[in-house]
Amino acid sequence: MSKKLFPQIDGLLHGGDYNPEQWLDMPEILEKDIKLMKEAGINTVTMGVFSWATHEPTEGNISFDWLSPIMDKLYDNGIYTILATPTGARPAWLDEKYPSAMRCDERGVRNHHGVRHNHCMQSPEYREKVRIMDTALAKKFANHPGLLMWHISNEFGGYCYCDTCRKKFQEWLANRYDHDINKLNKAWWTTFWSHTFNSFDQIDPPYANGENCVLGLNLDWKRFSTWSATDFMRFEIDTLRKAGATEPTTTNYMEMFYDYDYHYMSQFIDVISWDNYPEMHNSWQSDAEHLLERSFNHALFRSLKPDQPFMMMESAPGVVNWRPYNKYRRPGMHKLISMQAVAAGSDTVQYFQIRKSRGSSEQWHGAVIDHIGTNDTRIFKEVASLGADLKNIGEVAGSISKNQVAILFDWDNRWAIDDAWALSNETKNFDKTCIEIYNEFMRFGIEPDIISSDSDWSNYKIICAPMLYVLHDGIGEKISDYVEAGGQFASTYFTGYVNKDLLANLGGFPGQGLDKVFGLKSEEIDTLYPDDRVTINIYDKVKGTYHSVPVHDYQEMLRDVTADIIARYENDYLAGKPAITANAYGEGHAYYVACRTAQPDIEYLYREMLDKAGIVYTKLPIGIEKHIRYADDAQYDFYLNTNTDTTFLTGIHGRDLLTGEDIDGTLELKKYQVTIIKH
Ligand code: GLA
Ligand code: ZN
């Protein structure tokens, strides 16, 4: 079962982005950095992310003579390299000569040269330059003993509205709709407002000053843009492979990223990695709540390839510099955030950045090595202390999470909900709803995976699909089969309203026959104002008690209900009608929550699902997170105290991996402490 990402590395990776090209005229800096890296227990660096202008200062003049000796020297000192393709930013000469490399904005206006992450994914001229560069890189560095993996570009994101992309979009649409414009017209319901197209070449991207009211077009544009970025990434991977690269590939993802469907992209890379920048100690949320959002993200990325560890490719030592308020992490928080990633299944703790750049826009961004350049800064000491701990727990590398609960999170569903002219744009909150459900399971010490409706569901005993507005083809049947075979499946208001083209399902919601699985139909969805006061009354079968729970944002009116009624509305025009139901169907149960409540208020439902699924749980004290990783012959339970107070847990047995002590009963967790129990 153990699935180590890098056989060369004994244990976990600790390192980060390193930019020696900024210091070539100060060779003593490299010497100093290597010494400090070793002191901090750093065993890997990511280089070359933004090195194009150093690799190729003028067109055709490619040389890696600056990088080669640095990579060798690092390797001699036990520090491996993750090598990036430099396509995240372009030299001035390139944009000057090949302006098509520069993206066009949503009005179709071409950018000027500058900044980064803004190339056109389809520009043939840019691709050719990239091909030459990536080929040269792979020819030079593939199979270097110090090379761990290829980091493709950097933080892919955004859309390009240039003419080349417009034509590619038309081609992509022609393929999707079998070269039949009427098929597209039907799918997009274009008779509405006389938006009918006669041919594919009439179709524009959804320009800000053009057609952006055809919802099918908007959605297909996002699908196309996912394809386009993936196509570019695949082109880079393919180029490296053709030139002899054999190492694994990754590209660094971003939290809750919206522009592209990561489920689609992830099929084409070897390892999932992401950049984690928590906003700790903020004024609107407790640290515990904020860290749970981090956990949700870790789960999302882990679940993209659930059978292997993922990588936390970037995180900030101390502080970032791009938020409205850039507050330092308080002492001890660095270790907690880093260990949380490992607990959730990361085999790496990596930073942006090893050394602060002396000038330009990131000169005040946190780094392992500050401008003062010494090993006695608070941040350096916290990084070094973590480095020692990571070394101690190296044996967890390659172990994986195996979870029995999952939450459905489809990118096109997110996009479609936000684009639907319905509900309230102030309170749709699909992401937040998923996070709240995740949090509720975490309170029971049960960690969910975050999957898509097209994933393999066979390992999960409980699946929650909140607001599954868009049903992909065949999903009704998939849910029906899942429940029939014994699964516990929970949905909410705003489920099963449209098909993959965003056309309303006819004959009642949820569509695709799901009304039978849930034993109900939804007839109205009502949007509440923030100060509307509505409640439901829940019957707790176990406790034999009734209690009243507030509803906010949304309430559906159900009809034709044959399912068991767990809760009923108490007031307003829905008074007395069902609000939460459970339907026995085949060997399993389908639950429907027709209104939005706080999740802890409907805890009864979670206990019911967990009991029916036969999952054993213990409710954790507030602020304690639990994650489990499994190796072939060991289980590692991670307990994180995100509170500032000492917290005690009982019923814990096993060996404390960090101290080597045996724990037999009570575990004391001090402020921000992480303990890993092996058994
Ligand atoms: C991103 C980028 C890095 C750096 C950091 C700063 O994650 O990938 O190059 O700019 O942000 O936080
Ligand atoms: Zn373009």
pLDDT digits (tens, 9 = 90+) for 82-102: 999 999 999 999 999 999 999
Q: Which band of pLDDT confidence, cut at 50, 70 and 90, is reported for residue 524?
A: very high
Give the ligand whose atoms come closest to the C-alpha of residue 253: 1
Domain spans of the chain, in order of start: 13-157+236-396, 405-613, 624-678
Q: If you take atom 9 of ligand 1, which residue's CA is the nearest one?
A: 352
> Is the CB of residue 84 below 6 angstroms from any atom belonging to ligand 1?
no
Give the ligand whose atoms come closest to the C-alpha of residue 351: 1
Give the ligand whose atoms come closest to the C-alpha of residue 164: 2
Q: What is the mean pLDDT of residues 177-206?
A: 98
Neighbouring-strand partners of residue 551: 534
> Is the CB of residue 356 below 6 angstroms from any atom belonging to ligand 1?
no
The answer, yes or no, to whether residue 540 has pLDDT greater than 90, is: no
Q: If you take atom 4 of ligand 1, which residue's CA is the nearest one?
A: 352
Q: Is residue 289 annotated as a catalytic residue, yes or no?
A: no
Phi, psi of 612 (to 5 degrees): -60, -35
- The answer to whether the beta carbons of residues 160 and 153 sit under 8 Å apart is no
Q: What is the mean pLDDT of residues 183-207?
A: 98
Q: How many angstroms does the Cα of residue 156 sit away from the middle of ligand 2? A: 14
**What CATH architecture does domain 624-678 belong to?**
Sandwich (2.60)
pLDDT tens figures, 368-399: 999 999 999 999 999 999 999 999 999 999 99
pLDDT tens figures, 561-610: 999 999 999 999 999 999 999 999 999 999 999 999 999 999 999 999 99
pLDDT, position 468: 98
By most ligand atoms within 8 Å of CB, the mutation choice from 46, 49, 255, 275 for ligand 1 is 275
Single out the catalytic residue among 56, 155, 236, 556. Answer: 155
Q: How many angstroms does the Cα of residue 319 sit away from the middle of ligand 1? A: 12
Q: If you take atom 12 of ligand 1, which residue's CA is the nearest one?
A: 320
> Is the CB of residue 312 below 6 angstroms from any atom belonging to ligand 1?
no
What is the percent of the chain where pLDDT is above 90?
Answer: 98
* DSSP code string of 5-40: S-TTSSS-EEEEE--GGGGTT-HHHHHHHHHHHHHT
Q: What is the mean pLDDT of residues 295-312?
A: 98
pLDDT, position 543: 82
pLDDT, position 539: 87
Q: Is residue 293 annotated as a catalytic residue, yes or no?
A: no
Work out which ligand 1 atom sits closest to the CA atom of 320.
12
Per the prediction, the chain carries an average pLDDT of 97
Work out which ligand 1 atom sits closest to the CA atom of 252.
8
Q: Is 60 exposed, middle or buried (0-12, 13-18, 19+ CB in 10 A)?
A: exposed
Work out which ligand 1 atom sits closest to the CA atom of 49.
9
Q: How many angstroms does the Cα of residue 225 sit away from the middle of ligand 1? A: 22
The region, left, alpha or beta by phi > 0 then psi within -120 to 50, assigned to residue 242 is: alpha
Q: How many angstroms does the Cα of residue 157 sit away from the middle of ligand 2? A: 13
pTM confidence score: 0.98
> Is the CB of residue 154 below 6 angstroms from any atom belonging to ligand 1?
yes
Superfamily of 13-157+236-396 according to CATH: Glycosidases (3.20.20.80)
> Is the CB of residue 365 below 6 angstroms from any atom belonging to ligand 1?
yes
Residue 674 parent element (H or E):
strand 674-678
Q: How many angstroms does the Cα of residue 129 sit away from the middle of ligand 2? A: 15
Q: How many angstroms does the Cα of residue 259 sit away from the middle of ligand 2? A: 15
CATH of span 405-613? 3.40.50.880
Give the ligand whose atoms come closest to the C-alpha of residue 154: 1
- The answer to whether the beta carbons of residues 116 and 215 sit under 8 Å apart is no
> Is the CB of residue 568 below 6 angstroms from any atom belonging to ligand 1?
no
The answer, yes or no, to whether residue 467 has pLDDT greater than 90, is: yes
By most ligand atoms within 8 Å of CB, the mutation choice from 85, 115, 314 for ligand 1 is 314
> Is the CB of residue 6 below 6 angstroms from any atom belonging to ligand 1?
no
The answer, yes or no, to whether residue 1 has pLDDT greater than 60, is: no
What is the percent of the chain where pLDDT is above 70?
Answer: 100
pLDDT, position 569: 98
Q: How many angstroms does the Cα of residue 524 sit away from the middle of ligand 2? A: 42
Q: What is the mean pLDDT of residues 56-70?
A: 98
Q: If you take atom 7 of ligand 1, which residue's CA is the nearest one?
A: 275
Work out which ligand 1 atom sits closest to the CA atom of 277.
12
Q: Which residues contact 308 (CB under 8 A, 6 or more apart)?
A: 3, 5, 271, 400
Give the ligand whose atoms come closest to the C-alpha of residue 106: 2
Q: Give buried/exposed letters for 404-414 (b at 16+ CB in 10 A, else e).
A: bbbbbbbbbbb
Phi, psi of 561 (to 5 degrees): -80, 120
Question: Cα dihedral sign for 455, 431, 326, 673?
Answer: negative
Q: Establish how many alpha carbons lie within 13 A of residue 140's alpha carbon, considering only the half-sphere containing its beta carbon.
A: 19
Q: How many angstroms does the Cα of residue 228 sit away from the middle of ligand 2? A: 9
The answer, yes or no, to whether residue 2 has pLDDT greater than 80, is: no
pLDDT tens figures, 614-659: 999 999 999 999 999 999 999 999 999 999 999 999 999 999 999 9
The number of beta carbons lying within 10 Å of the beta carbon of residue 548 is 12
Q: What is the mean pLDDT of residues 8-37?
A: 97
> Is the CB of residue 447 below 6 angstroms from any atom belonging to ligand 1?
no
> Is the CB of residue 637 below 6 angstroms from any atom belonging to ligand 1?
no
Single out the catalytic residue among 236, 247, 314, 608. Answer: 314
Among the residues of 495-619, which ranges form H helices? Answer: 514-518, 603-613
Q: Which two tokens stand for residue 553?
A: 């944002």
Q: How many angstroms does the Cα of residue 142 sit away from the middle of ligand 1? A: 25
Q: What is the mean pLDDT of residues 513-536?
A: 98
